[in-house]
Amino acid sequence: MSGGASTEPFMSEDRSPLDHVRRAKIEQLRAAGIDPYPPRLDFPRTHTTAEALAEFEAAEAAAAGDPPTTPEVVVVGRMMSRRIMGKVGFAHIEDGSGRLQIFARQELLGPFLYDELFKKLLDLGDFVLARGPLVRTRTGEISCEARHIQLLAKSLEPMPDKWHGVKDVETRYRRRYVDLMVNPEVRRVFETRARMVQAIREYLDSNGFLEVETPVLQPIYGGAAARPFTTYHNQLKQELYLRISFELYLKRLLVGGYERVYEIGRDFRNEGVSFKHNPEFTQLEWYEAYTDYHGVMKRVEEMLAYVAQRLTGGTRITYQGQVIDLAPPWRRVTLRDAIIQYAGIDYAQYPTAEALAEAMRARGHQPETTTNRGKLIDSLLGTYVEPNLIQPTFVLDYPIEISPLAKKKADDPTTVERFEYFIAGMEMGNAFTELNDPLDQRARMEWMQEIYGAGDEERHPVDEDYLLAMSYGMPPNGGFGTGIDRLAMLFTDNTTIRDVLLFPHLRSLDRKEDEEA
C-alpha cells in the first residue's frame, strides 16, 4: 500500500502504465481545483440524448427551412469516442437513451476547458456533462455545441476497442458491466427479458392471480427431481435447503383459500452447468383451483401468445432462423404417441424397466440399467422426441413413476395427467392436474422412497407438513411451472442461458481458499 501524500489514491495495484497516466490526470485535475468525482452536476440535466435529438428535429420541422432556433440543453453521459483536430473536437457521449455528439470548440470553451480538460484530461469512459445549443454540423449530425463541459466521474480503466468491443465470452460474463457499456445489443437482451416478465405479470394479474412469495430456505425440499444446495442456520442450529421448486408451498396456499396464485423467483439446483442450466435460475409457477391440465394448457398458450404480442406485436417469433408461431391452439400429443412417432418404440408394450431397456438397446440406445422405467421413458423423450418439437407442442400423459405429485388418469393408474411443453426443441415447462388426495399422496411419496434407491440423490424425504396441509382439503387444481430464462432465450434468440443471465455462474479465478478448506 502506498504511504504517500493524502491525494495518493485508493487502488493498491498498478496493472499497467495506463494506470499511471490516468492517476496523474487525477492529480492534475485536483491541482486545477476540479473534483474528478463531483457530488453533483454544475447544471441540472435537461434532456436525455434521445430527447435532445427529438427536440432538435422538431425545431427544424417547425422552422420550415430556416435555420432552427436552437434550444440550449444540458446532457450527460459516458464519453465513448473523441476526435480532435486542432481548435475543434468531437466526442460522442452515451446515456441510457442513446448517444449524442458533443461539438467542442476552443473559441467557445476557452483555453482551460478546451485545451486542458477536453483535449488532455478527459479519457474515453469518463462520465461528462455538456451544456450548449443543439446544432447540425457540416456533415449533418445533430450535436451539442458545448459552452460548458464538466467531468462527472473519471474512469481509470481503458475502454475496450471502440470498433470490435469486447468479444471474449469470459470477460463478457465476468465483467458484464463492460459488456453492457460497449455492446448495445446485450443491453437490449435484458430489456427484452424485463418486458417479457412484465407481460407475464400483466397476463396473470389481469386473470385474477395473486402474486405471492414463499420461502427460499426450506427445512425439506421438494416439488422436483433435483439435488439441493444445503445451508445452515447458526442460531437455530438447523440445516436448511435452498428451494428446488415452489410447488409444495404454493399448493398449501390453495388449501388456505386462495384460488389463483403465482410466484416468479429463484430456484437452486445443485447440478451440472450447461448452455441451458445455471445453478440458480428463475422460475414461474402458478396454481389454479377448479381447473385441470387441459385448462392449464389453454392458459399457457394464451399467456405466451399474449407475451409475444406485447414484445413483437404478433404471435410469430424467429428463433435461430426458424419461424415459431405461438398462436393457439398448439399441437397436443400424448407422450406414448410422440415416442412411437419419433423413437419407434411403444413403451406400453414393455411393462418392466428390463424389457424396455432391452427394446431400447435393440435400437442402439444405451440406457442406464440401474434406473427405473419412468426415467427410461423420460430419456427416450429427451433423446428422440424433444429435438423435433420446434413448434410449440404439449406432450401429455406421463408415467406415474416420475410424477409423484400429479393425479392419476381415471382409466389408467400407470399414467398421470401431466404435460410438458416444448418450443424450439427445448423443454420449457411442466404441469399437472395436481394430486389432492392426501392418502394417495402419502402412498406415492412412500413409493418414491422405494423406486429411487437410497443412493439416488434426487430421492426426497416425505414431507409430513405438506401431507398435513393436504389433509385439510385441497381443491382440485391445475399447476404449472416454466423456466423464465429459457423463455428469455426464446424471445431474445439466444442459444445459451448465460446470455440471458446478467451474471451467469462461473468458477472463481482465485480458488486458494477452496483448496485449503
Partner RNA sequence: GGGCCGCUAGCUCAAUGGUAGAGCAAGAGACUUUUAAUCUCUAGGUUGCAGGUUCGAGCCCUGCGCGGCUCACCA
Residue 143 or 415: which CB sits closer to RNA? 143
**Residue 338 C-beta: closest distance to RNA, Å:** 16
Query: Does 84 participate in binding RNA (rule CB under 7 A)?
Result: yes
Contacts of 117 (CB under 8 A, 6+ apart): 34, 149, 151
The stretch among 5-13, 163-171, 257-265, 410-418 that binds RNA (CB under 7 A) is 163-171
Residue 32 or 41: which CB sits closer to RNA? 32
Beta partners for 324? 317
Size of the residue set binding RNA (CB under 7 A): 82
Beta partners for 287? 261, 479
Q: Which of 34, 166, 210, 327 binds RNA (CB under 7 A)?
A: 166
Q: Which residue has the cell 389481469?
A: 206
Q: How far apart are CA 380 and CA 360, in angstroms?
A: 8
**Residue 101 C-beta: closest distance to RNA, Å:** 6
- 285: helix, strand or coil: strand
**Residue 358 C-beta: closest distance to RNA, Å:** 17
Residues 6-35 that bind RNA (CB under 7 A): 15-18, 21, 25
Q: Which of 36, 68, 160, 222 binds RNA (CB under 7 A)?
A: 160
Query: Does 233 participate in binding RNA (rule CB under 7 A)?
Result: no
Residues 457-486 that bind RNA (CB under 7 A): 458, 483, 485-486
Residues 270-299 that bind RNA (CB under 7 A): 271-272, 274-279, 281
| 98 phi and psi angles, rounded to 5 deg | 155, -150
Beta partners for 101? 92, 143
Residue 34 or 255: which CB sits closer to RNA? 34
The stretch among 80-88, 196-204, 405-413, 441-449 that binds RNA (CB under 7 A) is 80-88
**Residue 420 C-beta: closest distance to RNA, Å:** 7
In terms of Cα–Cα distance, which of 199, 201, 208 is closest to 306?
A: 199
- 95: helix, strand or coil: strand
**Residue 92 C-beta: closest distance to RNA, Å:** 7
Q: How far apart are CA 56 and CA 135, in angstroms?
A: 8
Pairing of strands 331-334, 393-399: parallel
**Residue 407 C-beta: closest distance to RNA, Å:** 18
In terms of Cα–Cα distance, which of 151, 177, 183 is closest to 165?
A: 183
Residue 36 or 504: which CB sits closer to RNA? 504
**Residue 55 C-beta: closest distance to RNA, Å:** 18
Residue 301 or 378: which CB sits closer to RNA? 378
Query: Does 213 participate in binding RNA (rule CB under 7 A)?
Result: no
Q: Which residue has the cell 396454481?
A: 287
Q: Which amino acid is at 120?
A: K
Pairing of strands 393-399, 426-433: unpaired
Residues 307-366 that bind RNA (CB under 7 A): none
Nine cell digits for residue 41 = 452536476
CB 205 within 8 A of CB 262: no
Q: Which of 106, 183, 334, 391 binds RNA (CB under 7 A)?
A: 106
Query: Does 493 participate in binding RNA (rule CB under 7 A)?
Result: no
Query: Does 138 participate in binding RNA (rule CB under 7 A)?
Result: yes
Query: Does 247 participate in binding RNA (rule CB under 7 A)?
Result: no
In terms of Cα–Cα distance, which of 406, 426, 398, 419 is closest to 489?
A: 426
Query: Does 169 participate in binding RNA (rule CB under 7 A)?
Result: yes
Q: Could you check whether the bond before residue 329 is cis, i.e. omega within 30 degrees of 0?
A: yes
CB 436 within 8 A of CB 442: no
CB 68 within 8 A of CB 59: yes
Residues 373-402 that bind RNA (CB under 7 A): 375, 378-379, 382-383
Cα R_g (the chain), whole angstroms: 30
CB 396 within 8 A of CB 418: yes
Query: Does 1 participate in binding RNA (rule CB under 7 A)?
Result: no
Query: Does 164 participate in binding RNA (rule CB under 7 A)?
Result: yes
Residues 409-468 that bind RNA (CB under 7 A): 427-430, 458
Q: How far apart are CA 414 and CA 348, in angstroms?
A: 10
Query: Does 167 participate in binding RNA (rule CB under 7 A)?
Result: yes
Query: Does 58 participate in binding RNA (rule CB under 7 A)?
Result: no
Query: Does 57 participate in binding RNA (rule CB under 7 A)?
Result: no
Query: Does 124 participate in binding RNA (rule CB under 7 A)?
Result: yes
Query: Does 100 participate in binding RNA (rule CB under 7 A)?
Result: no
Q: Which residue has the cell 381415471?
A: 410
Query: Does 158 participate in binding RNA (rule CB under 7 A)?
Result: yes
